[in-house]
Structure 1
């Protein structure tokens, strides 16, 4: 359901990373917002000041200027303050990681996004809350997906960066590639560890520890359910269809595993449960997106 926000007074909280990386877009957004509403601008230097600004917003509608992490931080703060249900949140995307805000329907141009803050409608959206009180707005994936290229990173793998920019390092890499025959992907993933997981949806086991998996993804669906996809490990010459399920609670357990929830990689953990909270938060979007 979409409704028009009730307050024309705005609290504009600008992420410090956005100020450093694209000050011009920040300035444009501020000009558009101040031209259409009464605004109070906050320039927090860190997470504590960010949370304090939201806590002291009064009757003003919060508007955050930043990237996916900024939006996630704002929702997390309001959730911890138990004020998320009564709040219509807006975001003007500025920064390098904007996958989440795009998927939610937020315009990525500074002017269009600021106009949506002023003229848009509030849509109530589901989210996932885990058993450590963390929130997921878009999707979580096991193993985590690299934000650079979208590829799934093996759980427990560590990126090697020392010396990576030197010619001798690249030469060594090339030599190793010519001398070492890589095992098939199935063999590499099928070993012990996070690829052996138990996935339960509403208390029913959909994949158990005896079936190695390549990936698990969970995202808020609609009407209070989560969409779950489990990709079982395929052997050489064999394809196994993904296991699909929907439910209100999802529990993943097994050996230590990491997961990527929106823009944040968490873990390792041995078990984690996510539950869907229907209509938990409100995001102001353009009328066409509502």
Structure 2
């Protein structure tokens, strides 16, 4: 892991650049690095080669304010690490979006241009945001869905980028080929799940469902939508709002932010109000 540090000052940044971002769009990374270096009183640059070095860089940040350069997965990884270290209450993150998956950072209000995002990281204002914490110490910053969208759906929703083919080729070289998994209830088709919101059953195992989604609601709450399998006319979705959501039943997979997890037999998510801080452009 390469590290470059400037002299110590009260206002210091720790800039952690994700390796996929470096390979996917080196020009945007260079621009972000230059803007941050010129505007910060002190900056330490970290170029981790993998998740372990990424985690060590954050753990050893000291009093430096972290800025991550990467996509949705990079931001979620940083928040997850700080959550497990119980450091989220004392740390405001900034992100410069670079990479193939940027839907989450866009939805949070982060500028997608390298210059604008870097300037926001320097001069923006911390905003405290809710998240979903699950019973395996994982976090969800945006929304989750059961079953997860297919790879084909995700690719169709991804905007075109000139470096996308390079990134896909890189992923194919890094990820070993694995045998196909056996089908489960998370594959296309109805599932039988029990969904409980704040202890009240919204749908039970006797009613097959097409999809379950959980998204941020009002402060301290999440909006839950269950789409039952329609018989003839389209069935109306079942809606609820609460602080705790438990899904159980046959083993299922789910997409949380940019990652697919599972299979699990049961999972509980709880809204943590104002649990983490993100630096965003100031008003006006």
| TM exceeding 0.5 | yes
Listed as ranges, the gaps of 5+ residues in structure 1 are 1-6, 152-187
Q: Give the counterpart of 2:276 among 260, 281, 287.
A: 281
- Larger Cα-atom Rg: 1
| Structure 1 segments (4+ residues) deviating >6 Å | none
The 5 A counterparts of 1:187-266 are: 189-190=189-190, 195-236=191-232, 238-266=233-261
Alignment of 1:122-141 (within 5 A): 122-141=126-145
Deviation of residue 288 (structure 1)?
A: 3.3
State the SS of the aligned residue for 1:149.
helix
Task: State the alpha-carbon separation in 2 of the partners of residues 249 and 74 from structure 1.
Answer: 24
**Does the alignment pair 1:25 with 2:28?**
yes
CA contact (8 A) 1:11 1:57 kept: yes
**Using the alignment, how far apart are the partners of 2:100 and 2:107 within structure 1?**
15
Shift of the alpha carbon at 1:240? 1.4
TM normalised by structure 2 equals 0.83
TM superposition shift of 1:149? 2.7
Query: Does the CA-based 8 Å contact 1:61-1:88 persist in structure 2?
Result: yes
| Structure 1 residue 143: Cα displacement | 0.4
Query: Does the aligned pair in 2 maintain the 1:68–1:99 contact within 8 Å?
Result: yes
- Aligned match of 1:42: 46
Shift of 1:60: 0.7
Q: How far did 1:221 drift?
A: 2.2
Distance (whole Å) between structure 2 residues aligned to residue 8 and residue 126 of structure 1: 26
Output the aligned Cα RMSD: 1.5
Task: Find the aligned partners of 2:230 and 2:156 in 1 and give their Cα distance.
Answer: 23
1:8: Cα distance to partner?
Answer: 2.8
Q: Is the 8 A contact 1:229 1:243 kept in 2?
A: yes
Alignment of 1:114-125 (within 5 A): 114-125=118-129
Q: Distance in 1 between matches of 2:263 and 2:113?
A: 36
Show the 5 A alignment for 1:62-77.
62-77=66-81
Structure 1-normalised TM-score?
0.81
Q: Which residue of 2 aligns with 1:103?
A: 107
Number of corresponding residues: 242
Q: Confirm or deny: 8 A CA contact 1:126 1:221 kept in the other structure.
A: no
Show the counterpart of 1:172.
Answer: none
> Counterpart of 1:78 in 2: which secondary structure?
helix
